[in-house]
Structure 1
Amino acid sequence: MSTISLSDLEFVSREHLAQQLRSQPASAPASSIAIIDVRDSDHVGGHIKGSTWVPSSQLDHKTPELIRTLKDKDVVVFHCALSQQRGPSAALRYLREKERVGVAGREEGGGEVGKNEEDGEGKEKKQRVVVLRGGFTEWQEKYGRDGGLTEGWERDVWEFGT
């Protein structure tokens, strides 16, 4: 049985994530931050630039692949529409599967998104797994129109009655 529970999950604000994404060097071949969007049919209307869409309905069979493909990322950010259920659940599944297969664990609390430390000589870096507070709904309220941070944003989907 896993020792990881919902109370172990760490959340990151949209402002902090946006700051970290903006600070990534443009010349870097790959970002040290992976963003996993687990919305299902509600994925319409935009997404965080550079995010990977893995619908929650496919997460069970995609989690082992995610662990392999994201192994070199310092931080993995999960989110759904509100990050109240699917986003935290996906982060928890990811962490528990990493624990089950014996992949180097998570960093407990503290630190910043995008920051990572060596665990000592000969040991792997610890990957931080966090959840975007407020999900894409809150993200798009502030950054929907920002083409540097959001792709495919559709005003009609998000701005009701305006």
Structure 2
Amino acid sequence: MATVKIVDKKTLRNWIIGVPRAISLTIIDVRDDDHIGGHIKGSRHHPTSSFANNLPFLFQELQEVSVVVFHCALSQQRGPSAASMYLRYAEMIHSVINQEVYVLKGGFVEWQEAFGNDKRLTEAYEESVWKGLS
């Protein structure tokens, strides 16, 4: 049985900017109304509110991806829950999973603290949204 793993922001940064590791990577942002003030570059927004309904389509789209990283604002509830749901669904469809499924430690809150102003890593960043929240 596969398990959800944790990835820290520095490792994810390295995966995104291409430090030698040949992986196919998709980042899934499951924030709902709090999906404001920026997002990880190239991430896909799949809000928690509709995640379960869209899970079969998402899984179909990601079958060829080797690493899937989930996150929400803090990655304490929604991100881990979505990652677990995705992994359970994948195991239900296929007995052997050829993907690594991760949750971003600290979520977007910690990500934006470290990399919010780095345009290689964060898109549509609005620092004013995050002042006083982190």
2:89 is the counterpart of 1:97:
yes
The change in CA–CA distance for 1:89 and 1:148 in structure 2 (over 3 A counts) is same
Aligned to 1:46: 38
Distance 1:20 1:47 in 2: 16
Amino acid corresponding to residue 20 of structure 1 in structure 2 = W
TM-score of the two chains, using structure 1 as the length reference:
0.76
Q: Which runs of 5+ in 1 are unaligned?
A: 26-30, 106-125
Deviation at 1:24, TM superposition (A): 6.7
SS in 2 for 1:43: coil
Aligned to 1:16: 11
Distance 2:129 2:92 in 1: 39
Q: CA RMSD in A?
A: 2.0
* 1:66-145 correspondence to structure 2 within 5 Å: 66-102=58-94, 104-105=96-97, 126-145=98-117
Q: Percent identity?
A: 49
**Cα deviation per residue 1:63-106 (whole Å; 9 max; x = unaligned)?**
1111100111110000000000000000000000111122631x
The change in CA–CA distance for 1:150 and 1:157 in structure 2 (over 3 A counts) is same
Runs of 4+ in 1 over 2 A off after TM superposition: none
Amino acid corresponding to residue 58 of structure 1 in structure 2 = S
SS in 2 for 1:42: coil
Distance 1:20 1:99 in 2: 25
Higher gyration radius (CA): 1
Aligned to 1:157: 129
Q: What is the total number of aligned residue pairs between the two structures?
A: 132
Deviation at 1:160, TM superposition (A): 2.5
Distance 1:24 1:59 in 2: 31
Distance 1:103 1:35 in 2: 23
Q: Which runs of 5+ in 2 are unaligned?
A: none
